[in-house]
Amino acid sequence: MKTMEEVLQDWEAVIGLEVHCELTKLETKMFCGCKLEFGAEPNTHTCPVCLGLPGALPVPNRAAIQSIVLAGLATNCDIEKHTMFYRKGYMYPDMAKNFQTTQGPKAFCMRGHLDLSVDGRGAQERLFWSDLAEGEQSENMTRTADGYVAHVGITRIHMEEDAGKMVHIGGGEGRIAGATHSLVDYNRAGTPLIELVTEPDLRTPEEARLFMQKLRQIFLTLGISDCSMEEGSLRADGNVSLRRRGAKEFGTKTELKNINSFKNLHDGLAYEICRQAEVLEEGGQIYQETRHWDPSKKRTIVMRVKETADDYRMFPDPDLAPYDLTDEFIESVRAKLPELPDERAARYERDFGLTPYDARHLVEHRFTVEFFEAACAAAGDRARELAKPLANLALNDITAYVNAGEGIDFASTPFTPERGVALVSLLAEDAISSKQAKEVFAAVLDEDKDPAAIVEERGMKQVSDTGAIEAVIDEVLAANPDKVEQYKGGKTGLIGFFVGQCMKAMKGQGNPKLINELLASKLNV
Ligand code: ADP
Ligand code: MG
Ligand code: ZN
């Protein structure tokens, strides 16, 4: 198979996502008073409504409607005031009602959008953006200083309910194949779920991954879900098709179901792009089908051929009255909107003078936001002055540390925000070099001591005493008269040699900036 890079020279990928998010922060289910609890004893949170017993009547959960309206406002959707619930035919033992309650053509939230900033290595997956001038637009993307912004349309966000869970006994790895019997747990049946559907506006697996990540950050900020991809409270279906570069018509899409990590979303789509290109280039045909991405085998396999909308026999639910959301209700929800990641990034630029790049990467993760905010608070009057090195610390050292130890909660490590401020202050005062700062960072985590104590104990103080440095420089120059001659004759690359000799003489503790400056002034007279 060709690599994705090769494929994308000739083909353009078209990607749309369907993202399901369980509203785990709610107390009760969508249409009954049963408690929402992950991991409870099977079938302990059930009632006639979520078991679909005849005659039981559903009552919508007001808090769930508030959550979906919040999600819609945060993603620039129009809130649809007149909408209703539909029944979607569904015949499987994990849903005792034999239908799923969902929404029809008009969902609570319609016609939204999000802007995605793509930069660095991830931007390389999209071709041709670098031909544009900064600020220039082509299709749905605008060139920025260090990449591009992709404008991604959101078709709708609708409300629905989750099914229960089947456990198959006796087969391999819990699968139904070979099982002797199956158990069903209805605790999850009726869990409020929102589904967000994007327009087919994404063009690379990286954009799909970033979209998911941005959406997760927004939902977490809204506090509507714990958005755990491992536990399945946030999952995505990735739809992808190919068309020849320059073509307008979309190709036939396939759908990757129930993707449960950012990496799987990226890698599954990348594989599917390569697979489709191979089929098409050999003169074959893509069938509209649902496929499963197997990360261990690194391939996708067919799950089922697509059913059409008619198969679902959707019709308005006669047990649930149509909705008439009032302006007061919508405004009361709007008043609850917290500061969203994009607004937070804008504030970091404005209040702390951060670059757009630093600001937007800081808000991508909760741990970097938490650290940066707490450290700026701890820095007090010096927050603006220290913001840049604090952002660097969060984006480089802290991010590397957190990524190395999976799932680590940085806030509970000995590296407190106060210690972060102390560390960047030492750096700002030239008391230690940036190389030494990395050592101190690791030592704080290891030994649970203040940066100043570590610097003291290890005798790391960077020498910034001009007199002391000059004395060393004089010695080094006196010991290497031939090299000094060569330097003055034009071999200016020797500056590195002189700096190295000075550093060696000072056991690595000389301030490299000062050494460079003083050396230059002594050599250039
Ligand atoms: P379906 O009826 O198969 O569910 P939808 O029209 O509801 O299809 O779209 C589902 C998702 O697939 C949406 O995110 C949409 O943007 C995306 N999509 C639709 N057509 C294509 C296509 N040709 N290629 C890639 N994605 C597509
Ligand atoms: Mg669909
Ligand atoms: Zn119930």
pLDDT digits (tens, 9 = 90+) for 304-343: 776 666 678 899 999 999 999 999 999 999 999 999 999 9
Query: Is 1.10.10.410 the CATH number for 466-523?
Result: yes
What is the spatial distance between Cα 446 and Cα 458, in angstroms, rounded to a whole number? 14
DSSP-assigned states of every residue in 122-163: HHTTS-SGGGSPTT-EETTEEEETTEEEEEEEEEEEEEEE--
Q: What is the pLDDT of residue 159?
A: 97
Which of 198, 239, 286, 303 best tests ligand 1's pocket when mutated (most atoms within 8 Å of CB)?
239
Ligand 1 mean position to 289 CA, how many Å? Answer: 12
Q: Does the beta carbon of 286 sit less than 6 angstroms from any atom of ligand 1?
A: no
Q: Is the CB of 197 under 6 A from ligand 1?
A: yes
Q: What is the mean pLDDT of residues 461-469?
A: 79
pLDDT class of 86 with cuts at 50, 70, 90: very high
Residues 6+ apart with CB under 8 A from 405: none
Residue 393 in tokens: 């610390």
- Quote the pLDDT of residue 503: 86
Count helices and strands in the chain by DSSP H and E runs: 18, 18
Pick the atom of ligand 1 nearest to 17's CA. Answer: 14
In the reported structure, the alpha carbon of residue 452 is separated from the centroid of ligand 2 by a whole-number distance in angstroms of 57
Residue 514 CA, ligand 1 centroid: distance in Å: 60
Check pLDDT > 80 for residue 417.
yes
Choose the weakest-confidence range: 15-24, 127-136, 251-260, 279-288.
127-136
Structure tokens at 359: 């600001």
Which residues of the chain does CATH 1.10.10.410 include?
466-523
Alpha helix locations (H) across 317-433?
327-334, 341-352, 356-362, 366-379, 383-393, 399-404, 417-428
Alpha helices in 176-261, H assignment, sequence order: 205-222
Atom of ligand 1 nearest to the CA of 199: 16
Q: Pick 459 or 219 by higher pLDDT.
A: 219
Higher pLDDT, 139 or 335: 335
Could you give the percent of the chain with pLDDT greater than 90? 76
Residue for token pair 């260090």: 146
pLDDT band of residue 506 (cuts 50, 70, 90) is confident
Q: Does the beta carbon of 389 lie inside 6 Å of ligand 1?
A: no
| Ligand that comes closest to the CA of residue 192 | 3
| 257 C-alpha to ligand 2 centroid (Å) | 11
Provide mean pLDDT across the span 135-159.
94
Ligand nearest to the CA of 309: 1
Could you tell me which residue, 429 or 32, shows the higher pLDDT? 32
Check if 240 has its Cβ closer than 6 Å to any atom of ligand 1. yes
Q: Which residues of 41-50 are buried (b: 16+ CB within 10 A; e: fewer)?
A: eeeebbeebb
Q: What is the pLDDT of residue 463?
A: 75
CA dist 103 and 159 (Å) reads: 6
Considering the chain, what is the average pLDDT of its residues? 93
CB 453 within 8 A of CB 432: no
Average pLDDT over residues 438-451: 95
**Is 418 a pocket residue for ligand 1 (Cβ < 6 Å)?**
no
Q: What is the pTM of this model?
A: 0.87
Report whether 108 contacts 157 (CB < 8 A).
yes
